[in-house]
Amino acid sequence: MSNSTQPRLFVTGATGQLGRLVIGELLKRVAADSIVAGIRSPDHEIARQLSAQGVETRIADYTAPDTLQAALEGIDRVLMISSTVGPDRVAQHRNVINAAIAAGVGLLAYTSLLHADTATSGLAADHKATEAALRVSGLPFVLLRHGWYTENHTPSMQPALQHGAVIGSAGQGRFSSATRADYAAAAAVVLTMDGQEGRVYELAGDESYDLADLAHTIASAASRPVTYQDMPKAKFKQALIGMGLPDVVAELIAESDISASRNELEDNGRQLSTLIGRPTTPYRRTVQDDVAAG
């Protein structure tokens, strides 16, 4: 550990949607000079903002092991935010793990998938492989298994209002979702607490809902009729692509609906709200805000 009383904390993917929120939460808890942000380019606007706040930035590219080894020197605790879905995802995670070992990092926190050990989704495979790599690495680690992000629904809300229907493949499966800000707060708490080695957190929202509930909530927020239309996965994915979503994102959402239909995205343990010391953000609030924003 570093010579200062405050551990040096490193966040990978710090300019991403989750990473930037984690940095914001850390700044509420610790001094800026104890935080290091992993970035791919110093020219990114978020990177500039972090530097202006007194946060050190270091180049840390998952695909370039040399940058990772240099970035993690002198770091005590690392948050490894899972890489973008793709064929090299696990290899990229191993690059971070190996760099953390070489740098003598005291703890690595990894954003895995809710109930990754029992999940049947194809999307779970990379998380299972990464968790397995951590277990054999000898590196002290903690697993932050993330459930569904409520924001994953927002791209479909305006089309739902236009067509009067929420579409999906989840059947009556339920989502225990929370916002990225909720998950970011949890990561910041874990990074700034002692005694986290070996812990596994199943993180999910306090309340669950199915897509019929979501449709009803959208309808209520907009005062317009919206129903839920269930469909086969392949048809749902194509519809998402037709809305302008990239293929990889459409596959993620469609595959996650199948997981929900198997009750793999519901969790009533309330570990997330317990960890952050407040209720998770109600999904209805996210829906209302999105509908109001138009």
What pLDDT score does 3 carry?
40
Distant-in-sequence, close-in-space partners of 228: CB < 8 Å, separation ≥ 6: 165, 166, 167, 168, 210, 211, 212, 214, 215
Q: 71 and 99 in contact (C-beta within 8 Å)?
A: yes
The type of residue at 86 is G
What pLDDT score does 85 carry?
85
Q: Under DSSP, is residue 281 helix (H, G, I), strand (E, B) or coil?
A: coil
Alpha carbon distance 33, 28 (integer Å)? 13
Name the pTM for this structure. 0.95
Locate 5 and state its tokens.
């009383």
Q: 264 and 121 in contact (C-beta within 8 Å)?
A: yes
What pLDDT score does 221 carry?
97
Could you list the pLDDT tens digit for every one of the 294 residues in the chain? 444 578 999 999 999 999 999 999 999 999 999 999 999 999 999 999 999 999 999 999 999 999 999 999 999 999 999 998 888 999 999 999 999 999 999 999 999 999 999 999 888 999 999 999 999 999 999 999 999 999 999 988 999 999 999 999 999 999 999 999 999 999 999 999 999 999 999 999 999 999 999 999 999 999 999 999 999 999 999 998 988 888 988 888 899 999 999 999 999 999 999 999 999 999 999 999 999 998
Alpha carbon distance 10, 76 (integer Å)? 8
Crossing angle between the packed helical segments 89-103 and 124-137, to the nearest 10 degrees: 20
What pLDDT score does 177 carry?
98
